[in-house]
Amino acid sequence: MPEFLSPALVYVAAAVILPFIPHGIGRKLLLLATPLAGVAIFWGLPDGTYNTLNLMGMHVGLMRVDTLSVAFGLVFSLAAFLAAIYAWHLRDMVQQVAALLYAGSAIGAVFAADFVTLFVFWEGTAIASVFLVWARRTEGAYAAGMRYLTVQISSGLLLLAGVILLYLETGSIGFGSMELGSLATWLVFLAFGIKCAFPLLHNWMHDAYPAATVTGTVLLSVFTTKLAVYALARGFPGTELLIYIGATMALFPIFFALIENDLRRVLSYSLNSQLGIMVVGVGIGTPLALNGTVAHALSSVFYQALLFMSVGAVLFRTGTSKASELGGLYRTMPWTMLFCLVGGASIAAFPLFSGFVSKSLILSASGKEGYYYVWLVLLLASAGAFVHSSLKVSYFAFFGTDSGKRPSEAPRHMLVAMGATALICIGIGIYPAVLRPLLPYDVIYESYTTAHVITQLQLLFFTALAFAVLLRFRLFPTSAGSINLDSDWIYRRLLPVIAGGLTRAVQAAWRFSVRVTDVRLERLLSGVYRAHGPQGALARTWPTGSMVLWIAVLLGVTLMLTYI
């Protein structure tokens, strides 16, 4: 393999070349060929670290090949390929270049053998991805993009600070397993947590993802947060704190997803909940749990992308993704509706769909390790995903109250991308053995046991029944027409109020000090004027005799002082 060659550099090279290729088939073929060329670089390589160099005494490795990095690298490449098909209609060079750099940075970070390489690509994902938000070219998208970029850059700065301290402590920049025992590891942990959307650090996702372009949201759902899951699995496996963080993540977004009106925001909350399940697996840290984390991350890439693709197709054709403005679209968008149902069945962990296989690994691991309350939380999160991502999205978009809209079916290339993604979701569900070569541990686990299938079907059946009853009696939470805020209320409402109050206080203090200064300065000038003005005492012409008298007095005083 040529020296310093990395899958990421293929994407960078393609991004440099792309602007010089005229709009047309050539540019689109380049977008499709780039992920395939990236896979060709690492596919079949034996485990090891490649393309190493010495950077100011630090050993940098551009490409570490092992089961974990290959699994994420392969799935990221396939997702980039499918996203390129989905975005076949685009003629926006900004989005196309940003997509290449974003995917390349994520894949480069996955293969990074050291923290310096990880940091470079970590920040690359932040800078490249924000253009997928700004490419929508609205005032709201610009504001959301600025908030998104601020949070992502903050994650990078924390990572950099942690890496510097870690290097000072250990003398190494190798990226491997760590324990939370120093400021350095805590900073790295927090940096990973921001990108993984930990509770109270998660709102950038629900803010920016729905504000991005139709195709940009699909890419955003794939790379950033899954890269963070990879980083946690690589750096902090078995950290018990992650179990409780993940359980919280899995549960709290359900309420917000139920009351949210924008279906892309619903799916963003759903993604947050699914990330929590993966974080629980990392925290448990057993081979079965880590296999479940990787399996769920890989399957989530596809079913989450499929859901965003289907809602994106609705937005593309109707101009809206608000539940209150949709309904009855199954009449003219039947294929999009079908693919949405496949994505919903996968995230709800229906048997024969991908989510059933991957979630069962983490649920079983939590039960085997005695985390029964966590197991119950994950079960509730699974039921919640069925309600908000399967039933709510499909019902309000394609069924429910007829909106009167009769848009055309999604463009053919979007249907091809959604169809291929749906086949992957079904294929993993029917033949879970396809995931085994991509899992880090050789653990034999059978997902399709009678007890597991019956338990899951019962859960889904009663959840669907509850949904139907709530709809029938108009008890289902009403989707609010306004933007729902959770912890982002702090920086979108509270902090502006505090900043405004401080600004007003400073302005009032400044005005008061100016008034006081003006009054005192005016008094001073008046006094000077009275003394030195035309009518002042010091401006008068004194008689010569008086001046002689004063000189004589001063001279006498001087002589007395000299004598004394």
**Residue 455: which pLDDT band, with cuts at 50, 70 and 90?**
confident
The per-residue pLDDT for 544 is 63
What lies within 8 Å, CB to CB, of 306 at 6+ separation is 339, 340, 342, 343, 346, 418, 421, 422, 425
Q: Across the strands, what pairs with 52?
A: 61
Residues 320 and 192 in one domain: no
CB atoms within 10 A of CB 376: 13
Q: Is the dihedral of CA 212, 213, 216, 222 positive or negative?
A: positive
Query: Which tops the pLDDT comparison, 96 or 3?
Result: 96
Domain boundary among 234, 266, 285: 234
Q: Rounded to an integer, what distance in angstroms lies between the CA atom of residue 204 and that of residue 358? A: 27
Report for 77-81, 260-264, 491-495: range of highest mean pLDDT: 77-81
Which parts of 473-543 fold into alpha helices (H)?
Answer: 489, 495-532
Give domain status of residue 21, yes or no.
yes
Token readout for 243 is 């179990």
Contact assessment for residue 289 and residue 362, using Cβ atoms and an 8 Å cutoff: yes
Q: Which of 436, 466, 482 is the last residue of a domain?
A: 482
Q: Check residue 18 and give its pLDDT.
A: 94
The Cα 391–Cα 471 span in angstroms is 11
Q: Is residue 330 part of a domain?
A: yes
pLDDT for position 478? 65
**Would you say 360 and 434 are in contact if contact means Cβ atoms under 8 Å apart?**
no
Q: Clarify whether residues 226 and 339 are in a common domain.
A: no
pLDDT of the residue at 480: 56
pLDDT for residue 267: 95
Instruction: Name the range with the highest mean pLDDT among 48-52, 128-132, 481-485, 540-544.
Output: 128-132
- Average of per-residue pLDDT values in the chain: 89
> Mean pLDDT lowest for which of 71-80, 171-180, 393-402, 473-482?
473-482
If asked whether residues 277 and 206 sit together in one domain, one would say no
Helix (H) or strand (E) holding 442: none
pLDDT above 60 for 28: yes
Residues 242 and 228 in one domain: no
* pLDDT on residue 104: 96
In whole angstroms, give the CA distance from residue 41 to residue 33. 13
User: How many other CB atoms are found less than 10 A from the CB of residue 305?
Assistant: 27
pLDDT of residue 24: 84
Q: Give the C-alpha separation, 116 to 59, whole Å.
A: 9
Cβ atoms of residues 449 and 77 within 8 Å:
no
Give the least confident one: 17-31, 239-253, 351-365, 527-541: 527-541
Residues 206 and 259 in one domain: no
Q: Report the candidate in 405, 392, 305 with the shortest Cα–Cα distance to residue 346.
A: 305
478, part of any domain: yes
Q: Which DSSP string corresponds to 50-82? A: EEEEEETTEEEEEEEESHHHHHHHHHHHHHHHH
Task: Identify whether residues 429 and 304 lie together within a single domain.
Answer: yes
- pLDDT value of residue 531: 66
Long-range contacts for 43-49 (Cβ within 8 Å, ≥24 apart)? Answer: 43/74, 45/1, 49/113
Contact 19, 104 (CB under 8 A): no
Overall pTM > 0.75: yes
pLDDT reported for residue 192: 97
Looking at the fold, whether 172 and 220 belong to one and the same domain comes out as: yes
The closest of 476, 288, 275 to 381, measured between CA atoms, is: 275
Number of domains into which the chain is organized: 2
pLDDT, average across residues 78-83: 96
Structure tokens at 393: 């999205």
C-alpha pair distances (Å), 309 with each of 119, 301, 303:
30, 12, 10
What ranges make up the beta strands (E) of 411-525?
none
How confident is the model at residue 556, as a pLDDT? 82
Mean pLDDT throughout 212-217? 96
The lowest-confidence range among 208-217, 292-301, 404-413, 525-534 is: 525-534
What pLDDT, on the 0 to 100 scale, is given for residue 108? Answer: 95
Average pLDDT over residues 498-516: 88
Helix intervals (H) in 112-240: 115-134, 139-170, 183-195, 203-208, 214-222, 224-235
Instruction: Find the mean pLDDT for residues 230-250.
Output: 95
Q: In whole angstroms, give the CA distance from residue 35 to residue 81.
A: 6
Lowest-confidence segment of 45-54, 87-96, 487-496, 529-538 by average pLDDT: 529-538
- The size of the chain, in residues, is 564
36-79 pLDDT, tens per residue? 999 999 998 899 888 877 777 677 788 899 999 999 999 999 99
Q: Is residue 53 domain-shared with residue 141, that is, in the same domain? A: yes
Instruction: Determine the average pLDDT of the residues in 505-530.
Output: 84
Would you say residue 532 has pLDDT above 80? no
Task: Output the pLDDT for position 541.
Answer: 59
Task: Kindly state the average pLDDT of the residues 246-275.
Answer: 92
474, part of any domain: yes
Looking at residue 495, what is its pLDDT?
Answer: 76
Q: 38-47, 311-320, 528-537 — which is least confidently predicted?
A: 528-537
- 3-state helix, strand, coil split of the chain in percent (to 5) is 75, 5, 25
Residue 533 has pLDDT above 70, yes or no: no
For residue 174, list its beta bridge partners: 114
Is the same domain home to 155 and 242?
A: no
Q: Which of 457, 482, 507 is the endpoint of a domain?
A: 482
Buried b (16+ CB within 10 A) or exposed e, 226-261: bbbbbbbbbbbbebeebbbbbbbbbbbbbebbbebb
Residue 318, C-beta contacts closer than 8 angstroms, at least 6 positions apart: 325, 326, 329, 405, 407
Domain that holds residue 329: 237-482
Backbone CA torsion sign across 463, 464, 469, 475: positive
pLDDT, mean of residues 374-398: 90
pLDDT at 229 over 60: yes
Is 307 strand, coil or helix?
A: helix
Alpha-carbon Rg for the chain, nearest whole angstrom, is 32
Residue of 183, 289, 270 whose CA lies nearest to 232 = 289
213, 283: one domain: no
Query: Is the per-residue pLDDT at 111 higher than 90?
Result: yes
**pLDDT score recorded for residue 520:** 85
- Residue 314 falls inside a structural domain: yes
Verify that 266 and 213 share a domain, yes or no: no
Residue 182 shares a structural domain with residue 260: no
The per-residue pLDDT for 536 is: 64
> Which residue in the block uniquely carries the two structure tokens 């899958």?
7
